Amino acid sequence: MQSKMKESDPILEVENLSASTDNLPILKGVSLTVYPGEIHAIMGRNGCGKSTLSKIIAGHPSYNITNGDIKFLGENINSLEPEERSQSGIFLGFQYPIEIPGVSNLEFLRVSTNARRKFLNKEELDTFDFEELVKEKLEIVKMDHAFLSRSVNQGFSGGEKKRNEILQMALLEPKIAILDETDSGLDIDALRIVASGIKKISNAQTGIILITHYQRLLDEIKPNYVHVMSDGQIIKTGESDLALELEEKGYEWTDNFIRET
């Protein structure tokens, strides 16, 4: 299975990536390759750089790449704008989805979906056609239609915000989705909804990176690889049982790896 996947070209290649913000180095040489159909989990303590890695892949302007490359479908995207990355199929699920007062969720989702469709040379959807599409996708995250008429994320509960993220992923049909602590703040029912949503959206052509602290999401979505990050580096990579071991032994266990390296 694994070897079969690797016959195709990688979706994402992060090569020896270093990055800083306000001259403070955050990433110190991260390498990571994701092939179609693969699910990668990145784990690590708060502040280890895993959220930063996700933001840099999505193009957040606050970080400077000081060394290394990010390649998406073989092309270097280091200098692409965040919107260009999104349009071409990179999706970042936010740990803390941002509230945007006054902007209707429906209109936001429509403009966003159309930006992606335009890139794919698909016909842009008018309000009516989009309503049809979004209705179908709402099913995936079991969200009520009423969410659409509210302002983007405003007054949403933690769980609602996360489901809204997965709804966006469902609409944008990305090539790769980086989900930053999508499981945090979810009760067990919401976690199942989100996890089954992610599974429904992903397929043999898509790649997924799950950034998480906890095993419980990985019980629902079994990763092919687990990476442990510490101080801006990936210090260990293993298969799904690495996550279990990590849960058992705690991050203190990983401190030994740093000493080893």
- Nearest distance from C-beta of residue 130 to another protein, angstroms: 14
Q: Is 142 exposed, middle or buried (0-12, 13-18, 19+ CB in 10 A)?
A: middle
Q: Is 24 helix (H, G, I), strand (E, B) or coil?
A: strand
Cβ 153 to another protein shortest distance, Å: 9
- Cα–Cα distance for residue pair 41/243, rounded to 1 Å: 9
**Closer residue to another protein, CB minimum distance, 42 or 57:** 57
Chain Cα centroid distance, residue 62:
18
Decide whether 52 or 224 has the Cβ nearer to another protein: 52
Residue found by looking up tokens 């842009």 in the block = 124
Pick the closer one to another protein by CB: 102 or 250.
Answer: 102
Tell me the closest approach of the beta carbon of residue 87 to another protein, in angstroms.
5
What minimum distance in Å lies between the beta carbon of 58 and another protein?
Answer: 5
Q: Compute CA 188 distance to the chain's CA centroid, rounded to the nearest angstrom.
A: 20
Q: What is the C-alpha separation between 25 and 113, in angstroms, rounded?
A: 35
Cβ distance to another protein smaller for residue 82 or 158: 82
Q: Is the dihedral of CA 101, 107, 112, 115 positive or negative?
A: negative
**Cβ proximity to another protein, 16 vs 157, nearer residue:** 157
Task: Tell which residue, 67, 60, 72, has the closest CA to residue 13.
Answer: 72
Least distance from another protein to the Cβ atom of residue 227, Å: 22
Q: Which is nearer to another protein, 86 or 233 (CB)?
A: 86
Minimum Å gap between C-beta 109 and another protein is 8
Kindly list the residues in this chain that would bind another protein in the complex (CB under 8 A): 21-22, 58-62, 81-83, 85-87, 92, 94, 97-98, 100-104, 107-108, 111-112, 115-116, 119, 151, 168, 172
- Compute φ and ψ for 249, nearest 5 degrees: -95, -15
Single out the residue of 230, 240, 224 nearest to residue 38, CA to CA: 224
